[in-house]
């Protein structure tokens, strides 16, 4: 059973930065696709960034050039560096894990329903 625990959320002013972390344990799959999703009140959940087992990454258009996804395999930790934050980035951020096939369609297009595991989330609030 994979467990994912997010941390690093908080309140920041527009233009500021935050780094989210997702500590993973209890691996089930041989290889993984890891992703970050977010959901704001009254809005649908959306994919933010993902990294597949071959290291390929993908980003939502709204965060390209501002957010960077990375992972430290030795620490079993996924990161999301968020720079130049905007009020519209305010949301609950979740990490998710699924089987990794390398540059897979489901991973790069953020098909959350195909990820097997999801964390509880960490809140990010950006004020103007």
User: What is the structure's pLDDT at 27?
Assistant: 73
User: In which band, very low, low, confident or very high, does the pLDDT at 93 lie, cut at 50, 70 and 90?
Assistant: very high
User: What is the structure's pLDDT at 75?
Assistant: 87
pLDDT tens digits, one per residue of 33-88: 999 999 999 999 999 999 999 999 999 999 999 999 999 988 899 999 999 999 99
CB 92 within 8 A of CB 19: no
Among 84, 47, 42, 92, smallest CA distance to 67 is for 84
pLDDT value at 119 more than 80? yes
Average pLDDT, the chain: 94
pLDDT value at 2 more than 90? no
User: In which band, very low, low, confident or very high, does the pLDDT at 28 lie, cut at 50, 70 and 90?
Assistant: low
Among 99, 89, 68, smallest CA distance to 9 is for 89
3-state SS class at 89: helix
Strands (E) located in the chain: 3-7, 10-13, 18-25, 32-39, 46-51, 57-59, 67-72, 77-82, 91-99, 117-118, 122-127
pLDDT value at 30 more than 80? no
Sign of CA dihedral 123, 84, 17, 49: positive
> In percent, how much of the chain has pLDDT > 90?
85
User: What is the structure's pLDDT at 4?
Assistant: 96
């Amino acid at each position: 059973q994979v467990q994912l625990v997010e941390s690093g959320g908080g309140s920041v002013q527009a233009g500021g930065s935050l780094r989210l972390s997702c500590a993973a344990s209890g691996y089930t799959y041989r290889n993984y696709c890891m992703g970050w999703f977010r959901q704001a009140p009254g809005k649908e959940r959306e994919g933010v960034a993902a990294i597949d087992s071959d290291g390929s990454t993908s980003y939502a258009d709204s965060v390209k050039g501002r957010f960077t996804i990375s992972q430290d395999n030795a620490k079993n930790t996924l990161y999301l560096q968020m720079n130049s934050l905007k009020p519209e980035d305010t949301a609950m951020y979740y990490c998710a894990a699924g089987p990794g096939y390398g540059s897979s369609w489901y991973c790069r297009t953020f098909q959350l329903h195909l990820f097997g595991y999801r964390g509880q989330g960490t809140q990010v609030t950006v004020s103007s």
